[in-house]
């Protein structure tokens, strides 16, 4: 009888020990009131705006006497395919993502390798390198707008003192995109640095020590051991930063306003101009959805390719 009582105390749903309530049981059903509000809130904040944007992209929206949806049409998508402004914004956005994220990864990896080993003041430098990521986009946009001011900015003052030619940081269609990339790299390199540093610190030391005992040089250890072991976190860091870079908005809006001309107009900035300056809400929604489809396709392709590469690296 003692054994029976012990077994019943372990398996009794009433005591709640050891066994989760089965699906359909009273305990399982009683948990739904706590979960349903969170699910409804997520649907309201995520699904509804997406569905409403899709509806607007397939209709003409008028703002006379309130927001009204006209009959269904494909005119917005047809116009998008032939809109040179949209394709120019996509070219600049892709250029920003490829160049910016590549530089952020390389610089972040170099910083992480520098602070991987214990050096004097390492904790101070970790905090110092992380500061740009903590600043608001508004602050960063205004700061770089003042730094790169072509008349009173400190950067041009340094150039003048070194007898170097003036640089049209914000008024040249060739240099302005580079200024945006400099700002983006300065802001987001700390994210790469922190992720890669965490990967390096979690790396086992056995393989590295064995390679050193065998006489392998530092570059050889880095190429054959460190980088392959760091590959999974590197793939995830680049993926996260790539997705974020496609949605850049505030920094460019405050630094260049999309100019000069349309040389620094990102796709998100173009959607904003169409939706909230010309009040063409339907076309603004179409641009946003096109960017969403493009980013989803790029992210899927990136994960598929890197999955194959990771298998080869780890085997």
Asked if pLDDT for residue 23 goes beyond 60, the answer is: no
User: Which residues are within 8 A (CB) of 65 and not within 5 positions of it... i.e. 6 or more apart?
Assistant: none
18 vs 264, higher pLDDT: 264
Given this model, what pLDDT does residue 206 score? 83
Cβ contact 184:245 at 8 Å? yes
Q: Which of 24-28, 54-58, 95-99, 154-158 has the highest mean pLDDT?
A: 95-99
Neighbours of 160 (CB within 10 A): 11
Spatial separation of the C-alpha atoms in residues 158 and 140, rounded to whole Å: 20
Residue 203 lies in a domain: yes
Residue 282 lies in a domain: yes
What is the arithmetic mean of pLDDT over 232-238?
Answer: 95
Q: Which helix (H) or strand (E) segment is 294 a member of?
A: helix 281-314
Instruction: List the CATH number of the domain containing 234.
Output: 1.10.3720.10
Q: Number of folded domains in the chain? A: 1
Q: Give the helix, strand, coil percentages of the chain, each rounded to 5.
A: 70, 5, 25
CA atoms within 13 A of residue 147's CA, in its CB half-sphere: 12
Residue 227 lies in a domain: yes
pTM for the full predicted model: 0.83
Spatial separation of the C-alpha atoms in residues 188 and 200, rounded to whole Å: 19
Q: Phi, psi at residue 144, to the nearest 5°?
A: -70, -30
* pLDDT confidence band for 219 (50 / 70 / 90): confident
Summarised one tens digit per residue, pLDDT across range 113-150 is: 988 877 777 788 888 888 999 999 999 999 999 999 98
Residue 68 lies in a domain: no
Residue 291 lies in a domain: yes
187 vs 314, higher pLDDT: 187
What is the arithmetic mean of pLDDT over 280-309?
Answer: 94
* pLDDT confidence band for 19 (50 / 70 / 90): low
Given this model, what pLDDT does residue 11 score? 45
Given this model, what pLDDT does residue 8 score? 45
Asked if pLDDT for residue 21 goes beyond 70, the answer is: no
Given this model, what pLDDT does residue 20 score? 54
Q: Which of 51-65, 152-166, 203-217, 256-270 has the highest mean pLDDT?
A: 256-270
122 vs 194, higher pLDDT: 194
187 vs 30, higher pLDDT: 187
Given this model, what pLDDT does residue 233 score? 94
Asked if pLDDT for residue 252 goes beyond 70, the answer is: yes
* pLDDT confidence band for 260 (50 / 70 / 90): very high
List the domain range (segments joined by +) for residue 240.
Answer: 84-314
Residue 41 lies in a domain: no
Residue 189 lies in a domain: yes
**Bond prior to 34 in cis (omega within 30° of 0):** no
- In percent, the amount of the chain with pLDDT more than 70 equals 88
What is the arithmetic mean of pLDDT over 219-236?
Answer: 89
Given this model, what pLDDT does residue 60 score? 82
Given this model, what pLDDT does residue 13 score? 46
Given this model, what pLDDT does residue 3 score? 47
Given this model, what pLDDT does residue 223 score? 85
The token duo for 173 is: 């269609």
Residue 272 lies in a domain: yes
Summarised one tens digit per residue, pLDDT across range 90-109 is: 999 999 999 999 999 999 99
């Amino acid at each position: 009888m003692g054994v029976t009582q012990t077994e019943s105390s372990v398996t009794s749903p009433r005591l709640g020990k050891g066994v989760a309530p089965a699906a359909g049981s009273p305990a399982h059903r009683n948990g739904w009131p706590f979960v349903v509000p969170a699910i409804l809130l997520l649907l309201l904040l995520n699904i509804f705006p997406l569905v409403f944007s899709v509806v607007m992209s397939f209709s003409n929206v008028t703002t006379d006497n309130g927001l009204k949806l006209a009959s269904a049409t494909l005119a917005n998508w047809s116009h998008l395919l032939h809109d040179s402004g949209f394709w120019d914004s996509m070219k600049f956005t892709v250029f920003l993502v490829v160049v910016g994220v590549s530089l952020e990864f390389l610089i972040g990896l170099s910083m992480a390798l520098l602070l991987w080993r214990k050096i004097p003041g390492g904790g101070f430098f970790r905090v110092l390198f992380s500061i740009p990521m903590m600043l608001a986009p508004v602050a960063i946009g205004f700061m770089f707008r003042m730094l790169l001011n072509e008349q009173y900015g400190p950067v041009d003052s340094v150039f003048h003192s070194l007898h170097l030619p003036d640089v049209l940081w914000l008024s040249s269609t060739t240099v302005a995109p580079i200024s945006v990339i400099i700002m983006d790299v300065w802001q987001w390199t700390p994210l790469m640095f922190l992720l890669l540093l965490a990967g390096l610190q979690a790396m086992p030391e056995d393989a590295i020590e064995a390679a050193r005992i065998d006489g392998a040089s530092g570059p050889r250890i880095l190429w054959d051991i460190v980088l392959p072991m760091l590959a999974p976190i590197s793939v995830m860091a680049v993926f996260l930063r790539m997705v974020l870079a496609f949605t850049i908005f505030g920094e460019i809006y405050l630094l260049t306003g999309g100019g000069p001309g349309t040389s620094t107009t990102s796709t998100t900035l173009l959607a904003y101009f169409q939706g909230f300056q010309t009040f063409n809400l339907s076309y603004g929604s179409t641009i946003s959805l096109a960017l969403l489809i493009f980013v989803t396709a790029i992210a899927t392709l990136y994960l598929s390719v890197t999955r194959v590469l990771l298998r080869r690296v780890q085997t």
